[in-house]
Amino acid sequence: MGKKDKHVDAYIAKSAEFAQPILRELREIVHEGCPEVEEALKWRFPAFMYKGMLCGMAAFKQHCAFGFWKGSLIIPGEENNANAMGQFGRITSMKDLPQRRVLLAYIRKAKQLNDEGVKSPTRSKPRGEKKELAVPAYFTTALKKNKKALANFDAFSYSKRKDYVEWLTEAKTDETRKRRLQTSVEWLAQGKSRNWKYERC
């Protein structure tokens, strides 16, 4: 039988009100599609494990995300969604979720791949190959004014650079974005990642 984790309960409870029913529904569907699945927190987000990583979900301020570890083998062409992590874009309400039967089919396919020991092609990119990240022009301009910040940003991994870009682009007002932009340049000049406070803990 599967195993639920109290940390995932806490994660859902602390999420925004709009996100809670979405996360609960996704969790229930995953357990239905793979009864043996076990829960854990990976990279601070709820993850579902079955003979390795199966899938994961996350809640942000204005949207949720859900994705499969071997997404390109389950939903061809949807492994690199430009708008959000995962394969289903920005999920802002229950209406944005695929039909239950469709999700169940995906989960069962993911389970089958793990049963067969199939490796994810998206996790084995050639050495030195870098993903392209769409960096807003205003961020690039600000970075060019601070050589240290620019050098550190360029040296960061794709995920760390993406953390900064998402933080800026998700700002609701120009004032918030300007404040975050200034903070980003200051932190980058010091070689700090967007989530450096958590990394030190």
Query: What pLDDT does 80 receive?
Result: 46
Is the pTM value of this prediction over 0.75? Answer: no
- Residue pLDDT, tens place only, 76-133: 655 444 445 677 888 999 999 989 999 999 999 999 999 998 886 654 444 444 557 8
What is the 8-class DSSP label of residue 151?
H
Rounded Cα distance between 62 and 170, Å, is 8
Note every long-range contact of 49-53, with CB atoms under 8 Å and residues 24 or more positions apart, other chains counting: 50/110, 50/111, 50/114, 51/114, 51/115, 51/117, 52/114
Give bridge partners of residue 59 from the DSSP assignment. Answer: 64
Tell me the pLDDT band of 36, cut-offs 50, 70 and 90.
very high
What is the Cα gyration radius of the chain? 18
**44, pLDDT greater than 50:** yes
**42, pLDDT greater than 90:** no
Percent of the chain with pLDDT over 70: 86
In this structure, of 34-48, 73-87, 105-119, 168-182, the range with the lowest mean pLDDT score is 73-87
**22, pLDDT greater than 60:** yes
Percent of the chain with pLDDT over 90: 58
Q: Which domains does the chain have, with CATH numbers?
A: 6-123 (3.90.1150.200), 137-200 (no CATH)
